[in-house]
Amino acid sequence: MIEFHKKWITNSCLIIKENYQKINMLDQEIGDGDHGTTILRGLEEAVSHFSTKNEFNNSISFMNEISKLMRVSMGGASGILMTIFFKELGNLNLNDLYNSTLTIFSNTITKIQTRGKVKFGDKSFLDIFIPIHQDLIENNFIDLDKIIKKIDESLEYTKSLEARVGRAKFLDSKGVGVIDPGAYSTSIILKEFFKEINNEKNN
């Protein structure tokens, strides 16, 4: 059970590590320039925690610990908002992947909207979560190829959006023409999540 979460976090950390400079560069254009470094720091903190400690009761308490560590090490709004999904993922039920994933997405979205005062189309990582949640509902099934394609499309779409949250909203350009860095890191984390779900289904 916890193995799923460990594999997902480890893989996400690897891919973020390969891309964090690119994410920083996007953030240099529309934010304060450090989002790649920040998300990498949070994930590395998580990986080092479960690499050195072996006793965890269940996935709920495990993901509670992980999300708290990440929140503190990341700091700021991204620390608070991006760890919501990690905490919710403690509720993943490997015997009911589809329904538990739907619930996790719906709870994550509600909490991001409430705590972050952010809406769909504001140019944030919510612009990845919401279309994927819609796709899951419509397809009634987790189809990896379709989801990866949808994540890529949703990410690309954030380029065209005017920022209504974060520093980018103060720019003359409103960030138009630049992919949202938080959406970029989220796209990686969600792709790794669905890849792991797919591995689980084929086991």
Minimum CB separation of residue 23 from Mg ion in Å reads 11
Nearer Cβ to Mg ion (90/181)? 181
32 is an interface residue for Mg ion by CB under 5 A:
yes
The SS3 call for residue 53 is coil
The SS3 call for residue 34 is coil
Minimum CB separation of residue 33 from Mg ion in Å reads 7
Token pair listed for 25: 């560069």
Contact stretch for Mg ion (CB under 5 A) within 33-41, 49-57, 147-155, 185-193? 33-41
Dihedral sign for Cα atoms in the order 112, 165, 13, 38: negative
Looking up tokens 């999540």 gives 193
Please give the residues from 34 up to 73 whose contact with Mg ion meets the rule CB under 5 A: 34
Nearer Cβ to Mg ion (27/88)? 27
Minimum CB separation of residue 75 from Mg ion in Å reads 9
How many residues sit in the footprint of Mg ion (CB under 5 A)? Answer: 2
Angle formed at CA 184 by CA 195 and CA 43, multiple of 5 degrees: 65
Nearer Cβ to Mg ion (36/90)? 36
CA dist., res. 77 & res. 174, Å (int): 19
Minimum CB separation of residue 178 from Mg ion in Å reads 15
Contacts of 55 (CB under 8 A, 6+ apart): none
- Measured from the Cβ of residue 114, the count of other Cβ atoms closer than 10 Å reads 10
The SS3 call for residue 31 is coil
180 is an interface residue for Mg ion by CB under 5 A:
no
Minimum CB separation of residue 38 from Mg ion in Å reads 6
Nearer Cβ to Mg ion (40/89)? 40
Binding site for Mg ion (CB under 5 A): 32, 34
